[in-house]
Amino acid sequence: MATILIIEDDDIMLKAIRNILTKSGYEVLTAKDGKEAFELLDNKEYDVVITDLMMPYANGLEVVSRLRSDATKRHVSIIVVSSVGNEETITEAFRLGADDYLKKPIMAGELLIRIKKLLDNRAASSAKLVTKKK
């Protein structure tokens, strides 16, 4: 079972995403801001991080940057979700290392498919690494 961290300061959006993911069998933890997210990221391993962009203490781009600069967390798949949809922000999220970007409002089916794709790609990459080592 994959473990997913949702970082979202909007309570309604946080609960909606958490409900979608828990009903699909994922282990889900949540953080309401960047500070809480960094504490959770330091204390547990995650397969996927879903982060909002605009939050108190640290924004989603800072979360992406921190995950990608930490050698022990680079494997974590990152999905940025935001109502901000301008090209500059989206490009910056990908430049920093985000794996995917979803514009709010989020559709449950689309979110689940994108998470599955990221997890499947990661599993395939891990299998290739194991094969190469032999």
- Report residue 111's pLDDT band, with 50, 70 and 90 as the boundaries: very high
CA atoms within 13 A on the CB side of 11: 0
Q: Torsions phi, psi of 77, nearest 5?
A: -80, 140
Token pair belonging to 97: 């290392």
pLDDT tens digits, 42-64: 999 999 999 999 998 999 999 99
What would the mean pLDDT of 6-26 be, rounded to a whole number?
97
Q: Is the pLDDT of residue 4 over 70?
A: yes
Cα–Cα distance list, 133 to 94, 128, 129, 130 (Å): 30, 9, 6, 5
CATH topology of domain 3-133: Rossmann fold (3.40.50)
Nearest to 122 by CA among 77, 78, 69, 74: 77
Q: Is the pLDDT of residue 78 over 60?
A: yes
What local confidence, expressed as pLDDT, does residue 123 receive?
Answer: 82
Q: Is the pLDDT of residue 132 over 80?
A: no
What would the mean pLDDT of 7-30 be, rounded to a whole number?
97
What local confidence, expressed as pLDDT, does residue 133 receive?
Answer: 52
How many C-beta atoms lie closer than 10 Å to residue 21's C-beta? 22
Nearest to 55 by CA among 97, 6, 96: 6
Q: What is the DSSP code string of the chain?
A: --EEEEE-S-HHHHHHHHHHHHHTT-EEEEESSHHHHHHHHHHS--SEEEEESS-SSS-HHHHHHHHHH-TTTTTSEEEEEES---HHHHHHHHHHT-SEEEESSPPHHHHHHHHHHHHHHHHHHHHHHHHHH-
What local confidence, expressed as pLDDT, does residue 42 receive?
Answer: 94
